[in-house]
Structure 1
Amino acid sequence: GLKYPSFNSSYFEKKAKIWQKKYSRRRHLAKFLVLQNKNKRVLCPRSLESFANWQKAQKSKAKCQAKAANQRREYLHKLTTHLVKQYDVIAIEDLKTKNLQKNHHLA
Structure 2
Amino acid sequence: TGKQVGIDVGVADLAILSNGLKYPSFNSSYFEKKAKVWQRKYARRRHLAKFLVLQNKNKRVLCPRSLESFTNWQKAQKSKAKYQAKAANQRRDYLHKLTTHLVKQYDVIAIEDLKTKNLQKIII
Deviations 1:16-57 (A, max 9, x none): 000000000000000000000000000010000000000000
Q: Structure 2: how far apart are the matches of 1:30 and 1:65?
A: 23
Gaps of 5+ in 1: none
Structure 2 counterpart of 1:16: 35
Structure showing the higher helix proportion among its residues: 1
CA 1:36–1:10 in structure 2 vs 1: closer, same or farther (change >3 Å)? same
- What secondary structure, in the 3-state scheme, does the structure 1 residue paired with 2:113 have? coil
Count of paired positions = 104
CA 1:64–1:91 in structure 2 vs 1: closer, same or farther (change >3 Å)? same
**How far does residue 93 in structure 1 lie from its aligned partner after superposition?**
1.4
User: Once superposed, which parts of structure 1, at least 4 consecutive aligned residues long, lie more than 6 Å away?
Assistant: none
Structure 1 counterpart of 2:115: 96
Are 2:41 and 1:2 aligned? no
Q: Structure 2: how far apart are the matches of 1:101 and 1:12?
A: 29
- What secondary structure, in the 3-state scheme, does the structure 2 residue paired with 1:95 have? coil
Q: Percent identity?
A: 92
CA 1:32–1:72 in structure 2 vs 1: closer, same or farther (change >3 Å)? same
**How far does residue 5 in structure 1 lie from its aligned partner after superposition?**
1.1
**How far does residue 101 in structure 1 lie from its aligned partner after superposition?**
6.2
CA 1:6–1:100 in structure 2 vs 1: closer, same or farther (change >3 Å)? closer
Q: Structure 2: how far apart are the matches of 1:42 and 1:101?
A: 56
CA 1:63–1:101 in structure 2 vs 1: closer, same or farther (change >3 Å)? closer
16-25 vs 88-97, which deviates more? 88-97
**How far does residue 97 in structure 1 lie from its aligned partner after superposition?**
3.9
Structure showing the higher strand proportion among its residues: 2
Q: Structure 2: how far apart are the matches of 1:21 and 1:34?
A: 20
- What secondary structure, in the 3-state scheme, does the structure 2 residue paired with 1:91 have? strand
Q: Structure 1: how far apart are the matches of 2:74 and 2:83?
A: 14
Deviations 1:50-71 (A, max 9, x none): 0000000000000000000000
**How far does residue 96 in structure 1 lie from its aligned partner after superposition?**
3.0
The structure whose RCO (Cα within 8 Å, separation 6+) is larger is 2
Root-mean-square deviation (CA, aligned residues, Å) is 2.3
